């Protein structure tokens, strides 16, 4: 589908917003379907449809007005995506979404295909969780099978006695117990696969978290080159095994011995790939567009070492963040998502710092964060 056509996007968040910006740059029209109006993606779209994903009639009308459909997050009912697939091409295919939106199915896929992942078991009660965790050894991690992100739907179990309370807080019909992984760091790889099966991988990102939310991504990742190559190889193999057309983001734990475990899969743009918008020849968002429209993939070449920093709603404590102070460094690139309300832990934007080396980028990111977040820390500044 050449520029001038219409791309349908399911989901209205910041990932969709940046995808839409990439699509508009290339001359495509963007139609967004999401439950809420004036969404980050809807704000920059040609057409914004606001309706529940379960509204199959509205969804069918939406699909008939576009040429191809993709999505920007996983929590879309599989039945809704299957309906759309009967009307228009959908990339990635609904089965990829079905696997990746449920931890139990994802772990089963990884195990069946021989990809390295943590030991785990599916549990359906507090008693099963306690027994399974005891068998694996404490501590262990209890994760809801569905709707988990940014640390939500997870609990660390230090003993069998904690299982009942953790299960009640989880409030889910099924969950996964995972062994506790003593890892050195977390890295991720975003790769793109086109209709012909060609795959391109972006540089490996090193991910630093605070309170289970990604705080920073450092690129290139500060890991041995052999580890980075192995992560990229596994990501390519996973994209092929899933028969993905579009993007696949793969999070890995790097264990103390340098071996890798696949932690999570996401068949869409990923927070740890935001750096590509400013620091790569082709962004992850343009790459998604190229793949789903049947165009040749762009170069994922890294143009500069970069550190990406998430800006959460907590930064608004004490007033509007000092954007002018942040942007006093000419190597800082700011992206705000257009969300109407700044809430604690809510991702409101991010900024990237591009410098000649990772070390310089990290120092500059620290300085930029200090300037931006000083009001949140109680310092009104001058």
DSSP 228-255: HHHHHHHHHHHHHHHT-SEEEEEEEEEE
Instruction: Report the largest interatomic distance among the alpha carbons of the chain, rounded to a whole angstrom.
Output: 60
Cα–Cα distance for residue pair 43/36, rounded to 1 Å: 11
The domain that holds 18 is classified in CATH as 3.40.50.20
Cis peptide before 246 (omega within 30 of 0): no
Whether residue 189 is contained in a domain is answered as yes
Whether residue 19 is contained in a domain is answered as yes
**21: which strand partners?**
none
Q: Is the dihedral of CA 319, 323, 324, 325 positive or negative?
A: positive
Averaged pLDDT of the chain = 94
**Residue 140 · residue 177 · CB < 8 Å:** yes
The number of beta carbons lying within 10 Å of the beta carbon of residue 343 is 12
Together in a domain, 197 and 312: yes
Query: Beta 6-10 vs 68-71: how paired, if at all?
Result: parallel
Tokens matching residue 35: 């439950």
Whether residue 18 is contained in a domain is answered as yes
Together in a domain, 253 and 333: yes
The domain that holds 226 is classified in CATH as 3.30.470.20
Q: Which of 130, 147, 179 is the last residue of a domain?
A: 179
pLDDT of residue 164: 92
Q: What is the pTM of this model?
A: 0.94
Helix, strand, or coil (residue 314): helix
Cis peptide before 169 (omega within 30 of 0): no
Query: How many separate domains does the chain show?
Result: 3
**Residue 168 · residue 126 · CB < 8 Å:** yes
The number of beta carbons lying within 10 Å of the beta carbon of residue 304 is 17
pLDDT of residue 321: 94
Together in a domain, 204 and 319: yes
pLDDT of residue 380: 40
Together in a domain, 173 and 289: no
Together in a domain, 262 and 316: yes
Cα–Cα distance for residue pair 5/285, rounded to 1 Å: 17
Together in a domain, 175 and 194: no
Whether residue 267 is contained in a domain is answered as yes
Tokens matching residue 359: 């070390």
Together in a domain, 259 and 198: yes
Alpha carbon distances (Å) from 297 to 23, 96, 162, 351: 14, 20, 49, 25
pLDDT of residue 379: 44
Q: Which domain holds residue 128?
A: 119-179
Together in a domain, 83 and 219: no
Closest Cα partner for 122 from 178, 169, 175?
Answer: 175
Residues in the chain with pLDDT values less than 70: 147-151, 375-382
Closest Cα partner for 310 from 281, 341, 270?
Answer: 270
Together in a domain, 199 and 309: yes
Angle formed by the axes of helices 163-170 and 126-136, nearest 10°: 120
Buried b (16+ CB within 10 A) or exposed e, 154-176: bbebeebebbeebbeebebebbb
pLDDT of residue 150: 60
Whether residue 49 is contained in a domain is answered as yes
Whether residue 136 is contained in a domain is answered as yes
Whether residue 175 is contained in a domain is answered as yes
Together in a domain, 228 and 292: yes
């Amino acid at each position: 589908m050449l520029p001038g056509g219409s791309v349908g996007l399911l989901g209205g968040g910041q990932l969709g917003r940046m995808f839409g910006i990439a699509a508009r740059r290339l001359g495509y029209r963007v139609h967004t379907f999401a439950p809420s109006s004036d969404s980050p993606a809807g704000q920059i779209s040609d057409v914004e449809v606001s309706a529940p994903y379960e509204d199959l009639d509205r969804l069918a009308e939406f699909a008939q007005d576009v040429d191809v459909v993709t999505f920007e997050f996983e929590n879309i009912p599989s039945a809704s995506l299957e309906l759309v697939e009967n009307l228009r091409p959908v990339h990635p295919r609904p089965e990829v979404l079905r696997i990746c939106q449920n931890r139990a199915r994802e772990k089963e896929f990884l195990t069946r295909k021989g990809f390295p992942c943590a030991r785990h078991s599916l549990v359906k009660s507090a008693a099963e969780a306690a027994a399974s965790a005891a068998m694996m050894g404490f501590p262990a991690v209890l994760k809801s099978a569905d709707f988990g992100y940014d640390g939500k739907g997870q609990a660390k179990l230090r003993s069998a006695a904690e299982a009942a309370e953790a299960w009640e807080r989880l409030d889910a019909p099924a969950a996964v117990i995972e062994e506790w992984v003593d890892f050195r760091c977390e890295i991720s790889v975003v790769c793109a696969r086109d209709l012909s099966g060609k795959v391109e991988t972006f540089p490996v990102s090193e991910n630093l978290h605070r309170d289970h939310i990604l705080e920073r991504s450092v690129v290139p990742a500060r890991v041995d080159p052999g580890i980075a190559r192995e992560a990229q190889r596994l990501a390519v193999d996973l994209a092929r095994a899933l028969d993905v057309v579009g993007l696949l983001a793969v999070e890995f734990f790097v264990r103390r011995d340098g071996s890798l475990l696949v932690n999570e899969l996401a068949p869409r743009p990923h927070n740890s790939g935001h750096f590509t918008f400013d620091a790569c020849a082709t962004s992850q968002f343009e790459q998604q567009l190229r793949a789903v429209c049947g165009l040749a993939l762009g170069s994922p070449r890294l143009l500069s070492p970069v550190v990406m920093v998430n800006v959460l709603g907590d930064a608004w404590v004490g007033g509007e963040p000092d954007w002018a102070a942040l942007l006093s460094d000419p190597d800082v690139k700011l992206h705000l998502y257009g969300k109407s309300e700044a809430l604690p832990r809510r991702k409101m934007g991010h900024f990237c710092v591009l410098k000649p080396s990772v070390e310089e980028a990290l120092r500059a990111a620290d300085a930029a964060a200090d300037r931006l977040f000083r009001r949140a820390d109680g310092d009104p500044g001058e």
